[in-house]
Amino acid sequence: MLNILVTGADGQLGNSIKRYKDIYPDYNFIFANQSALDITKNDILYDFIKQNSINALINCAAYTAVDAAENDEAKARLINHNGVLNLALAAKETGIKFVHISTDYVFEGRNYKPYTETDGTNPLSVYGKTKLAGENALKNSSLKNSIIIRTSWLYSEFGKNFLKTMLNLAKTKNVLKVVNDQIGTPTYAPDLARAVLEILPLVQNNETQIYHYSNEGVASWYDFAWTIMKEADLPCKIEPVNSGEYKTAAQRPFFSLLDKTKIKNEYGINIPHWRDSLDVCLRNLGIKN
Ligand SMILES: NC(=O)c1ccc[n+]([C@@H]2O[C@H](COP(=O)([O-])OP(=O)(O)OC[C@H]3O[C@@H](n4cnc5c(N)ncnc54)[C@H](OP(=O)(O)O)[C@@H]3O)[C@@H](O)[C@H]2O)c1
């Protein structure tokens, strides 16, 4: 039996892991939300891991409000950087596996082909900078049996996300303007959860390895919104705008497609296309039959 600690368990990814908790008979999950285990409080992490005989940690905790982070850098850094460092040190002291989640926003977005794990980073936003600092803290901690999975554009039935925002806005608006010059891939959080749970027992390394995971396919936010309306059979019209016309506090990469060759080759996982996963999510939400 593997005792797996899931931090940030009430977020999208944490809830997605909860969905699959019963299909892995060899896994015993300890789900900890922020009030049960605050990753910024380094004095309690070691004891928590010891007391619960934890063998592996999946860190789903993060400061994820990309625009709010521009005016809240200290808090974003405390969680996304210091919090990860705390977890890495506790994992090292206790000798447990560590799966950490990072973001496509560590990239500047000027590539002409999907980003590989070895491509140079240059985050444009405070959120991206603090997430990169968290990656580096984990890498520099010389922790064995640890991986970082960078993902993109997470959505699910849980919490706040682009899909749910679009569905809510469509209740009161006839037209929505959505940016068509930021290209990436929407990722259904339960697909990422399944991938993490499949990979976990196989993680074995002497130093932290980075992997990229998103759903298959390519989209702009406009494509994603347009497809949501079409598949949900909603009358709301989606109009394309460029990022210059739709100002946000945080700058986002224009191109953040992730190359998933490494994770597919090393772990043999199958990755669904984003359109198929959107279909699953809309059915689960009762929006599609
Ligand atoms: N969402 C995306 O589009 C996206 C894209 C790429 C990568 N990612 C990464 O994917 C991972 C999962 O994202 P998600 O969408 O599941 O995030 P989420 O829904 O925002 O969940 C994050 C969770 O972390 C918790 N948390 C915040 N501070 C904490 C602390 N100090 N200690 C313990 N828990 C804390 C939050 O609790 P409260 O709600 O109580 O604050 C929340 O439940 C994150 O690492 C994120 O950076 C996300």
pLDDT band with cut points at 50, 70 and 90 for residue 288: confident
Nearest atom (ligand 1) to Cα of 156:
15
Q: Is residue 171 part of a domain?
A: no
181 Cα: distance to centroid of ligand 1 (angstroms): 26
Q: Is residue 242 part of a domain?
A: no
Q: Is residue 118 part of a domain?
A: yes
Is 27 catalytic? The answer is no
Number of domains in the chain: 1
Return the closest-CA partner of residue 282 out of 206, 211, 229, 203: 229
Q: Is residue 237 part of a domain?
A: no
Q: Is residue 249 part of a domain?
A: no
Q: Is residue 153 part of a domain?
A: yes
pLDDT band with cut points at 50, 70 and 90 for residue 41: very high
pLDDT band with cut points at 50, 70 and 90 for residue 99: very high
Range of the domain at 151: 2-160+186-216+255-272
pLDDT at 190 over 90: yes
Q: Is residue 72 part of a domain?
A: yes
Which pLDDT score, from 0 to 100, does residue 86 have?
A: 97
Which pLDDT score, from 0 to 100, does residue 48 have?
A: 95
Q: Is residue 231 part of a domain?
A: no
8 Cα: distance to centroid of ligand 1 (angstroms): 6
Give the separation between CA 274 and CA 270, rounded to whole angstroms. 13
240 lines ligand 1 (CB under 6 A): no
pLDDT at 270 over 90: yes
- For residue 73, the domain's CATH number is 3.40.50.720
pLDDT tens digits for range 230-264 = 999 999 999 999 999 988 999 999 999 999 999 99
Which pLDDT score, from 0 to 100, does residue 249 have?
A: 97
Give the separation between CA 97 and CA 205, rounded to whole angstroms. 10
Which pLDDT score, from 0 to 100, does residue 289 have?
A: 80
